[in-house]
Amino acid sequence: MTTDVQDKGRHVKDVSAEQSTPVISLEQVQIRLGKQIIQENINLSVQSGEFVTILGPNGAGKSTLLKLLLGLIKPSAGKIQVLGKLPHRGNTDIGYAPQHRTLEADLALRARDVVGFGLDGHRWGPGWPNRKRNAIIEQALEEVDALHFANAPVGQLSGGEQQRLLIAQALLTNPRLLLLDEPLSNLDITRGQEIVALVNHVCRARNVAVLLVAHDINPLLNVVDKVIYVANKRSTIGTPDEVITTESLTRLYGSPVEVVKALGRMFVVGAEI
């Protein structure tokens, strides 16, 4: 009995310490690709359970920031830690869903097969079927509400359904950090809202930190905790009300930008988002 209590105490202590350490910590980070500076002086802290969106114009470095966190590129200056360590490739504590491309209609792979690639897609040939593997895949499919089309040919699924599979795949290793690169692109308003609601549920239920790259703040306004807005080789970070303002974006772009609020939505005039 005493041992059990002590074990539980140690477990609680470990979890508490884990949660007190930022999932992401960037201090004065500069990103350079070749001779070109993409971003500089990024300061960022993200905690467990925070939902953060990355906004900005094309070419501003939104996807590049995800590559930095994945350990695919290194900062040219500054300090960075992900889950208390230097970023490194193949970190199973990070779930990553890359930019989605619509799959060919005649692709015969089943939805569950595509999700399974998240467990053994690095191996040659199909993964060996077993109970544990199948149970993990089933759980991920259920979490993204995709069980009802799990055996459908993936090429015949809608863009929103295919996006659910990518998120399921990213959840297979039970990550502490979830990186989603433009999961709302090419989706209509209804499907986009469904994906936002799904990601928000995963974030809160799992207490996992989420960084989601997007072009439009409006589908995310009511759920995100922070916004990282990147433009003009710089960034500004805060709540949507702090970041998406005329004054804030004008400073960031270095030219006049007008933020108009109407009907519960935000419209940015004078800048490409």
Kindly report, residue by residue over 205-264, the tens digit of the pLDDT.
999 999 999 999 999 999 999 999 999 999 999 999 999 999 999 999 999 999 998 888
Domain that residue 53 falls in:
21-269
Quote the pLDDT of residue 265: 86
**Is 79 inside a domain boundary?**
yes
Quote the pLDDT of residue 15: 47
Kindly indicate the confidence band of residue 273, based on its pLDDT and cuts at 50, 70 and 90.
Answer: low
Determine the average pLDDT of the residues in 104-129.
70
Cβ contact 158:186 at 8 Å: no
Determine the average pLDDT of the residues in 112-132.
70
Judged by average pLDDT, the poorest of 113-122, 182-191, 228-237 is: 113-122
77 versus 129: which is more confidently predicted? 77
Taking CA atoms, 191 is separated from 53, 94, 161, 210, 219, in Å, by 18, 25, 9, 19, 11
**Is 3 inside a domain boundary?**
no
Q: What secondary structure, in 3-state letters, does the chain show?
A: CHHHHHHHHHHHHHHHHHHHCCCEEEEEEEEEECCEEEEEEEEEEECCCCEEEEECCCCCCHHHHHHHHCCCCCCCEEEEEECCECCCCCCCCEEEECCCCCCCCCCCCEHHHHHHHHHHCCCCCCCCCCHHHHHHHHHHHHHCCCHHHCCCEHHHCCHHHHHHHHHHHHHCCCCCEEEEECCCCCCCHHHHHHHHHHHHHHHHHHCCEEEEECCCCHHHCCCCCEEEEEECCEEEEECHHHHCCHHHHHHHHCCCCEEEEECCEEEEECCCC
Indicate the number of domains in the chain.
1
Quote the pLDDT of residue 108: 76
Kindly indicate the confidence band of residue 124, based on its pLDDT and cuts at 50, 70 and 90.
Answer: very low
Quote the pLDDT of residue 104: 66
Kindly report, residue by residue over 54-86, the tens digit of the pLDDT.
999 988 999 999 999 999 999 999 999 999 999
Kindly indicate the confidence band of residue 272, based on its pLDDT and cuts at 50, 70 and 90.
Answer: low
User: Is the confidence at residue 102, as pLDDT, over 50?
Assistant: yes
**Is 110 inside a domain boundary?**
yes
Residue 227: CB atoms within 10 Å:
24
Quote the pLDDT of residue 88: 94
Kindly indicate the confidence band of residue 125, based on its pLDDT and cuts at 50, 70 and 90.
Answer: very low
Quote the pLDDT of residue 118: 80
Cβ contact 203:23 at 8 Å: no
Quote the pLDDT of residue 105: 63
The CATH number of the domain holding residue 98 is 3.40.50.300
**Is 138 inside a domain boundary?**
yes
User: Is the confidence at residue 8, as pLDDT, over 80?
Assistant: no
**Is 170 inside a domain boundary?**
yes
Quote the pLDDT of residue 13: 38
**Is 8 inside a domain boundary?**
no
**Is 1 inside a domain boundary?**
no
How far the first Cα of the chain sits from its last, in Å, is 59
**Is 154 inside a domain boundary?**
yes
